[in-house]
Structure 1
Amino acid sequence: MRKQMHLAAQYLAAAGISFLPKKDDDSHTNLGWSNEKQQMETHRLSPNGDVLALDYGTFSLIWNSNSGSAALPLNNRSHAEVLKWIQETSAAFLSKSYTYAFHYDLPYTIDTSFTYHLDESELKELASLRTLAQSSLEKVLKETGLESDVRIWPHHFDSGAYASLNDDIAVGLGLAIPDAMVNEHYFYVSGYEKGKGIDTSNFKNLSLGEWKNEGFEGAVLIADHRNKKEVVKFFIEAINGYPA
């Protein structure tokens, strides 16, 4: 399901590429997460409030607009069928053409015959992780006074925030999907001084999680069986590990 949702999120990213002005930091492609709706959402795609969403509760794509809405259940749908629906729906609501094309590579490929299949229990777990990440990050930003949006970046598929601690040091923090460093979902904090990763080899040990310093310079905490209190504690403790 993780792979399927990563691929499905690309429909939303492509909508940002197709319908929004390009930004140098690629933020026109990133997505929000709604704890209330349990869905990923694009930025507003038009003055009429058009938004394309990926709903984890119903495993469907939803097009919402001030002038109406449309939905496409993904279970047993092929990639070709999904593209056809988005192209027709965006033409109807925006009178614009949708293009499924990217300037980045994903760790897997998709062709027209690729078909989505629902695993309800696994999808529920993935939604819970996004909700935990969103609520924890919002609380950390509030408690620390750091300023950042919380967004999902479709390339790496992380839920993340990025904030400046001072004129020289900034931190990224969030939830990452399994990768070459950690083979399961994990929370992370990484610090940068004038854009360069900060060596953590001499940092004080964390009460939750651990510091990494090879390939990735920062702190990680395995996400499995974690609650909001633990995640917030990890984030704040790791942030405080960097020089103010």
Structure 2
Amino acid sequence: MSSPTALHEGSWCTVRPELARALTDARLQAHHAARLVSAAGISYREPALDDSHTSMRWSAQRGGLSMDVGDDVSVALWLAELTVTIARAGRQVAALTLSGRTMTDAEGLVRAALGRAGLEEGRYTTQRHFELPPHPIADGRAFEVANGEGSGELARWFGAAAAALDETARERGGSAVVCWPHHFDLATLITVAPGRTTGAGLSPGDGYYNEPYFYVNAHPSPPPDALTQYPLDGGGLWHTHEWVGAVLPGSTLAAAAGAQREQVRRFLHSATGHTVSMLRR
């Protein structure tokens, strides 16, 4: 097995593992807010069979999820501030702070801003073909960023993951790292052979782990009883409940930035190495 590629100096966003299990509300609010961005892809992009028209890219400069639609129009959600911006040809058309606004309010403001950016307002729809996890925001409660600590920490997790996953994608020949609105995960997909793929990503938390966690999975899934042959580096573990994959829970990361970076790097390198090997058999 080749040695893992080191992350570029300065690319790692240091996270606080002790806060990993305190990000639930920030994560759910951001997931629902991202619906405003993915809706632009549903409304204005050509539908893709793999749903990539709904995906968003990570913007490291300010810490947000964005996509391009129409003629030079971009829509972005900045996680730390929970703000949506619309720009055309690089010039900002609108900046909408979500805190204190309901989803209905936000939808109307985004729709109007897209119209000012030159797109057809009537095409913008937040109707979607996938479900989001329940949260009072879906029932009319306003967004709320109390002190920014949770949303800021969530942004750091995404930033750290983007750096690590970019390296994994380069090392393994994976796809561009994007955020999928369905599960709100940031991921790359590595094709080993036709119909045989392995995905590496970061989930900010879900029903399986109430904290951010790095994961590596495979399609087709390997038999769980074969996993003992493949020990994981970096403190990773094999998950076998309802899906099979390697997991590194965020709360188990080291405290220091350099140690965090190395731990995640070793986990992703070993886990993707194992899944690629299993898929080649």
Using the size of structure 1 for normalisation, the TM-score is: 0.91
Q: Which amino acid aligns with 2:205?
A: P
Contact 2:168 2:174 in 1 (8 A): no
**CA separation of 1:152/1:241 partners in 2, compared to 1, >3 Å: closer, same or farther?**
same
Of residues 19, 30, 33, the one that matches 1:8 is: 33
Q: Would you identify which runs of 4 or more consecutive aligned residues in structure 1 move more than 4 Å?
A: 109-112
Contact 2:175 2:190 in 1 (8 A): yes
Of residues 99, 107, 110, the one that matches 2:125 is: 99
1:151 aligns with 2:184: no
- Report the secondary structure of 1:198's partner residue: coil
Counterpart CA distance in 2 for 1:204 and 1:68 is: 50
Q: Who is 2:263 aligned against?
A: 230
Question: Paired residues, what number?
Answer: 238
Segments of 5+ residues of structure 1 without an aligned counterpart are none
1:62 aligns with 2:88: no
Of residues 76, 87, 101, the one that matches 1:53 is: 76
**CA separation of 1:67/1:145 partners in 2, compared to 1, >3 Å: closer, same or farther?**
closer
**CA separation of 1:113/1:170 partners in 2, compared to 1, >3 Å: closer, same or farther?**
closer
Counterpart CA distance in 2 for 1:90 and 1:30 is: 18
Matches within 5 A, 1:104-123: 104-108=130-134, 110-111=137-138, 113-119=140-146, 120-123=148-151
Of residues 230, 243, 264, the one that matches 1:204 is: 230
1:240 aligns with 2:267: no
Q: Deviations over 1:152-210 (max 9, x none)?
A: 10010011111113456321110013223222211100112xxx212243232213211
Between 1:64-73 and 1:228-237, the stretch displaced more is 64-73
1:25 aligns with 2:50: yes
Contact 1:201 1:213 in 2 (8 A): no
Q: Which has the higher helix share?
A: 2
Measured after TM superposition, the shift of residue 108 of structure 1 is 1.2
Of residues 165, 182, 194, the one that matches 1:137 is: 165
Measured after TM superposition, the shift of residue 24 of structure 1 is 0.9
Contact 2:212 2:250 in 1 (8 A): yes
Q: Deviations over 1:122-148 (max 9, x none)?
A: 111100100011000011222x24131
- Report the secondary structure of 1:131's partner residue: helix
Contact 1:135 1:228 in 2 (8 A): no
Measured after TM superposition, the shift of residue 214 of structure 1 is 3.1
Using the size of structure 2 for normalisation, the TM-score is: 0.79
CA RMSD of aligned residues (A): 1.8
Q: Which amino acid aligns with 2:73?
A: D
Q: Which amino acid aligns with 1:68?
A: R
Counterpart CA distance in 2 for 1:87 and 1:158 is: 25
1:34 aligns with 2:59: yes
Between 1:161-170 and 1:8-17, the stretch displaced more is 161-170
Measured after TM superposition, the shift of residue 90 of structure 1 is 1.1
Bigger relative contact order, structure 1 or 2 (CA pairs below 8 A, ≥6 apart)? 2
Q: Who is 1:182 aligned against?
A: 209
Measured after TM superposition, the shift of residue 35 of structure 1 is 1.3
Measured after TM superposition, the shift of residue 58 of structure 1 is 3.0
Q: Which amino acid aligns with 1:71?
A: A
% identical aligned pairs: 26
Contact 1:80 1:112 in 2 (8 A): no
Q: Which amino acid aligns with 2:119?
A: S
Q: Which amino acid aligns with 1:107?
A: P
Counterpart CA distance in 2 for 1:86 and 1:230 is: 40
